[in-house]
Amino acid sequence: MPPLQKSEALQLLQGGQALFPALIKAFDAATTWIQLETYIFDFHGAGADVAEALVRAAQRGVMVQVLVDAIGTDPLPAAWEKKFSDAGVEWFRYSPLTGLLGWLVPERWRRLHRKLCVVDQRMVFCGGINVLDDFYDPNHGQLQAPRFDFSVAVTGGPVTADAAEAVALLWWRVQAGYSARMRHLSDAWESFKAAGYGGRTDTRRLANPALGARAAPAGVPFPRAALVLRDNLRNRASIERAYRKAIGRARREVIIANAYFLPGGKLRRALIRAAKRGVRVTLLLQGRYEYFMQYHAARPVYGALLAAGVEIHEYETSFLHAKVAVVDGHWATVGSSNLDPLSLLLAREANVVIDDKAFAEDLRGRLLQAMAAQGHRIDPATYSRRPLGLRLQGWVAYTLVRLALLVAGQRY
């Protein structure tokens, strides 16, 4: 994991209701470059407001680059394709599948799951929130209550530079792959060079020069943060290691809220060891599930955790989509990575790790409030007596996940 370094400011944003106005404000103030990556970009409700802000920025000459996952995001609607094209918004889809046979290639299971946005290389937004209205779900329609999710806005410092470089690298690698598929080999070669092959990337070659970081006022304490990426090359286990390291050092409390929770053996053992040495370990997980497999596959691992004294709460008011944690009231992480094999072994993910008491206590308070007002604590005795049908569903889902990992050549 990269070292934690000072940032000028951190802001915790809960849900799209907080994130999207902050994004739009940043887009409307942008002068040079907007880089946006997301798994889902949906144009219902608030998603359309974000798209309009991108159009406004492009129309006044800001370079706007949007990279979406080709599985998570439907093809661009015709009306928006014209709007984006006319304004100059660049839009690319990451790793499109060609027909049903595409799903049979394990390499294509590696998706773009990051939710990263960098504005003028000065401000970065990172979290679990897609460009998707809080009260709308593509599979379930209108929601009665908003999703429970978080993002963090980081201003200044190395995190913004690291995020800008990471997004630029992936953008131009996708461009290079597209050019090669279209047999535009000279364009592909230029894109590969711009993406940093053969040397460190210089982001000045990838866009117009942006504003530099301001000097920190003397005597003002700054929060420390780092951008932690997961990919399938050098950073295969970086996010999981950050979790395990923080849990291993915990002395009082570990709180984790995670949408799709199926940790591997090392992470499960870290949680169990922490609970057994007297750390209060609390999990906030999905009580209302979106997908059968992820929901039921997690149930078989509850038993060992509950037996060790881990508290498990399920969020029931709406869909829980958060991927956050707080340890000992000062360490926190906010990001896109679930604690399951898809995130920890296959997908491109991005988390921000933070060491700041004020930020951690803010996040901790929101999680505790959600558990108290909108959650249900699982009783170990009741869990042990759950019906046979639920047990079978859990073991079937868990076995299918393990078989999929075997096919993909992954150990977990």
**321 catalytic residue (yes or no):** yes
Q: Which of 83, 115, 296, 313 is catalytic?
A: 115
Neighbour tally for 209: CB within 10 Å: 10
Q: Which of 133, 321, 340, 356 is catalytic?
A: 321
Residue pair 232/110 in contact (Cβ under 8 Å)? The answer is: yes
Separation of alpha carbons 356 and 150, rounded Å = 17
Q: Where are the extended beta strands (E) located within 82-158? A: 90-94, 116-119, 123-127, 136-137, 141-142, 150-155
Tokens matching residue 208: 């117009």
122-140 CB burial, b ≥16 within 10 A, e <16: bbbbbbbbbbbbbbbbeee
Tokens matching residue 132: 């998707």
**82 catalytic residue (yes or no):** no
**120 catalytic residue (yes or no):** yes
Q: Which of 113, 133, 340, 356 is catalytic?
A: 113
**115 catalytic residue (yes or no):** yes
Separation of alpha carbons 335 and 312, rounded Å = 21
Q: How many angstroms separate the most distant Cα atoms in the chain? A: 65
Q: Which of 313, 323, 340, 356 is catalytic?
A: 323
Q: Which of 187, 231, 328, 362 is catalytic?
A: 328
Separation of alpha carbons 113 and 40, rounded Å = 9
Q: Which of 42, 69, 83, 120 is catalytic?
A: 120
**What residues are annotated to the active site?**
113, 115, 120, 321, 323, 328
